[in-house]
Structure 1
Amino acid sequence: TRPYGIAFYPPGDKPQWVYVANSNSVVRFAYRDGDLKASGEPETIVSDIPSSHHWTRDIAFSPDGKTLYLSVGSGSNTAEGMGARPKGGVEEWARSAPLGATWGAEEGRADVLAFDPDGKNRRMVATGLRNCSGMTVQPATGALWCVVNERDELGDNVPFEYATAVKEGAFYGWPWYYIGDNEDPRHKGARPDLAGKVTVPDVLIQAHSAPLNIAFYEGGNFPADYKGDAFVTLHGSWNRNVRTGYKVVRLKFKDGKPTGEYEDFATGFVIADDAVWGRPVGVAVANDGSLILTEDGNGTIWRVTYGDGRS
């Protein structure tokens, strides 16, 4: 059912399972090195995941293999179907729910969840992430990172999309705030209790770029200064007067920490104001150090290498 995320378990050289995130579940298949097709039926690990609207579910494992992370996007743009107040009122809800958790039709959404590898011990990692469509673990630090599509209909340049380390227990703003204490005017005055409690993301990306995936580079094919940096795919805007996105960018890191800067890496997908031939989606680093890119404008996969004449 709309499979999107994929992760091998346990992390490392000899995985025994391949996990796949459907829109409404996480399943796994038995796996051995070299398998090109499933040797058996899928086993459901996580079920009862809300699947409508933002349906891209990404998954990642912690470096020690003890935690399975799952991203669940919101069910609307700005929580239109959530309802004005939870049962018992906002104050009662806030006392018992994680910081910034949503209710009603948005309960259990716009967040990152964690499970044991067998799908048990469900818990909340972070909230207020409107659509964390791509996740990965930073090799240098073991930190979980995600790229987030922010809300629409606030103008061409508001709010920024972003890439960020996902901090345990953090609230990133959706739907009441964005990029810190900037209040969404459509929810003005609704949650004053959350003011000053919004975690500001690490790297801001131009509004409506639609970041979909992220991968850190630790390969040996690119020049040495690429090591530790991250690549992010920008699928491209649909609701902006001037196009943005439709490219792959490189996020700069120094000593394992983001500088906040990013630069173009792969461009050329836009051919006119009203025409593009490619929309980047997935990014991964192959064992030989090459970069693998997917795009769904034509359904192609690209391999990018350095210095062998085939880049």
Structure 2
Amino acid sequence: MLKHVLRVLALVLVVAIGFVVYIAWPDEAKLSVDQVAGARPDITAPRVQTIPTVKVADAVGWPKGVTPKPAPGLAVAAFATGLDHPRWLYRLPNGDVLVAETNSPPRSGGGLQGWVMRHLFGKVGAGVPSANRITLLRDANGDGIAEERHVFMQGLNSPFGMALLNGQLYVANTDALVRVPYRDGETRITARPVKVMALSGGGNHWARNVIVSGDGKTLFVSVGSRTNIADEGIEREKYRANILQVWPNGNWRIYAAGLRNPNGMAINPINKQLWTVVNERDMLGSDLAPDYLTQVEFGDQFGWPWYYWGGYPDNRVEPKNPQLQEYSKRPDYALGPHVAALGLTFADSARLGDAWANGAFVGEHGSWNRKPVSGYKVVYVPFGPTGYPVKGAKPVDVLTGFLDAKGDAMGRPVGVITDRSGALLVADDVGNAIWRVSAAR
């Protein structure tokens, strides 16, 4: 009996030592982020991780007087501070700005992945309860600072996306799309939200976005996957990893599939087509797989969970789906591995100068599964006159400096929009601020 106990203890000790060694020397990137970015990224062989590389910037907040760093020719200042985990932004017709102060609903789940997710949430300041609130910010005098702040809606359930259509404000809770009547200039909504449709909740990707379609007749709603690669079985991913098309009467259909976590969505001003940014899968090594920016058309299938980047197989996924490989659509533009691309807005209403006049701004929340870290900044993807990214172009830094000298996160960018003057607004859910990027004077 004693020998058996000693063997078990020895085995536990070996496993523990192996785990410590692995954490001390995790998988490291062999390529730069730029090499895995653009229309033709370098797609190398996967390095599958049984125990994930965990490298995330601890959340520390902004020291007094410190701000992010804008690109040359641009300036940055705080539009609003003292918010509670601001994640997403929406500009109303009169110029008022809505901000979703929100966070993940309480998480559960065992196993290694559940432990890792809970551990990471604590490190990045995302483990606090959700305020479940939408706040209205008003810059009435046009000086670039929101001098008015109103509780616009509350009692929501991890709200995220917001969109106005036909006098109704639609809000994407984590488990339902709801709407309330809206009149221009209102600073508070007291009407009880009406449920338009239920949305699949739970799991890792809780944030639901909603935007109005290019023709102004329907809505697009994004619903990320429950797990990394259908780890709990594909049946648990029903109506997940999808963009849904929703009619105001509540009818809906799957518009596109195989998108692990489509978050930011925007309508391309040139061709009125839907574009999205997508968080790709984890634990294939620090160089895979690239998050991406892509146009999305009805019936598109981007391959998740079986394939990434237009047909590269993920051999971890069971059962296999070989017939899907040739139909997996290749995305238009890679943003780099693990950057956590969340925010997206086109530059058609920006007034930042000619260098930023035709393209897309992307908020990169920052990696946890890459060494060294990637993301933690806002980038710009230049587009050509045809409505697609410029051939050979790489992402251009717009707003950086979210990490301090020790590598801790003073802030993390999420949603990006333009204000009525054409400046760029960036939601920072670690710094609890909204930053305003404008042309330098």
TM-score, normalised by the number of residues in structure 2 = 0.62
CA displacement 1:124-143 (0-9 Å, x = unmatched)? 11111000011111122111
1:109 to 226, 229, 240: 240
Superposed CA deviations along residues 186-231 of structure 1, whole A, max 9, x for unmatched, are 0378111112111010110110100011000112521134223110
2:163 paired with 1:7: yes
**Structural RMSD (CA):** 1.5
Q: Does 1:26 align with 2:177?
A: yes
Q: Which stretches in structure 2 are left out of the alignment for 5+ residues? A: 1-156
Write out aligned runs for 1:214-293 (5 A).
214-219=344-349, 221-255=351-385, 256-259=387-390, 261-293=394-426
SS at match of 1:114: strand
Give runs of aligned pairs for residues 1-311 of structure 1, distance below 5 A. 1-10=157-166, 16-82=167-233, 103-120=234-251, 122-187=252-317, 190-219=320-349, 221-255=351-385, 256-259=387-390, 261-308=394-441
Deviations 1:87-138 (A, max 9, x none): xxxxxxxxxxxxxxxx410111101111112322x11111110000111111
Aligned partners of 1:203, 1:49: CA distance in 2, in Å? 28
Quick one: which amino acid aligns to residue 218 of structure 1? D
**Aligned residues of 2:351 and 2:357 also touching (Cα < 8 A):** no
| Cα distance in 2 for residues equivalent to 1:229 and 1:25 | 32
Q: Is the 8 A contact 2:342 2:414 kept in 1?
A: yes
Residue 189 to residue 183, structure 1, CA distance change in 2 (3 Å)? farther
Bigger mean CA offset, 291-300 vs 214-223: 214-223
Runs of at least 5 residues in structure 1 that lack an aligned partner in the other structure: 11-15, 83-102
Q: Which residue of 2 aligns with 1:97?
A: none
Work out the CA distance in 2 between the residues paired with 1:132 and 1:189: 24
The alpha-carbon deviation at position 52 of structure 1 amounts to: 3.0
Structure 2 Cα separation of the partners of residues 129 and 220 of structure 1: 28
Q: Distance between the aligned counterparts of 2:328 and 2:214, measured in 1?
A: 27
Partners in 2 of 1:262 and 1:195 — Cα distance? Answer: 28
CA distance in 1, matches of 2:199, 2:354: 44
Alpha-carbon distance in 1 for matches of 2:193, 2:319: 47
1:273 Cα deviation after fit: 4.7
2:169 is paired with a residue whose SS is strand
Contact 1:62 1:68 in 2 (8 A): yes
Partners of 2:342 and 2:284 in 1: CA distance: 21
Distance in 2 (alpha carbons) for counterparts of 1:148 and 1:48: 19
SS at match of 1:276: coil
For 2:348 and 2:240, locate their aligned partners in 1 and report how far apart those are by CA, in whole Å: 32
Distance 1:48 1:280 in 2: 26
Partner residue, 2:19? none
Counterparts of 1:178 and 1:204 in 2: how far apart (Å)? Answer: 11
CA distance in 1, matches of 2:349, 2:189: 29
Opposite residue 207 of structure 1, the aligned amino acid is: P
| Partner AA of 1:38 in structure 2 | I
Higher helix share: 2
Whichever residue aligns with residue 267 of structure 1, its letter is T
Residues 143, 166 of structure 1: 8 Å contact kept: yes
Q: Distance in 1 between matches of 2:165 and 2:355?
A: 30
Q: CA deviation at 1:17?
A: 1.8
Q: One-letter code of the match for 1:8?
A: L
For the 8 Å contact 1:65–1:117, the answer to whether it is kept is no
Q: 2:325 and 2:214 mapped to 1: Cα distance? A: 34
Amino acid at match of 2:283: E
Aligned to 2:316, the other structure's residue is in SS state helix
SS in 1 for 2:301: coil
Letter matched to residue 291 of structure 1 = L
CA 1:261–1:167 in 2, change beyond 3 Å: closer, same or farther?
A: farther
2:302 counterpart SS class: coil
In structure 1, how many angstroms separate the alpha carbons of the residues matched to 2:228 and 2:318?
Answer: 16
Aligned to 1:87: none
- Cα displacement (A) at 1:48: 4.2
More relative contact order, 1 or 2 (CA 8 Å, 6+ apart): 2
SS of aligned partner of 1:232: strand
Q: Please tell me whether Structure 1 or Structure 2 has the larger radius of gyration of its CA atoms.
A: 2
SS at the partner of 2:266? strand
Paired with 1:202 and 1:274, the residues of 2 have a C-alpha distance of: 31
Is the CA contact 2:351–2:423 (under 8 Å) kept in the aligned structure 1? yes
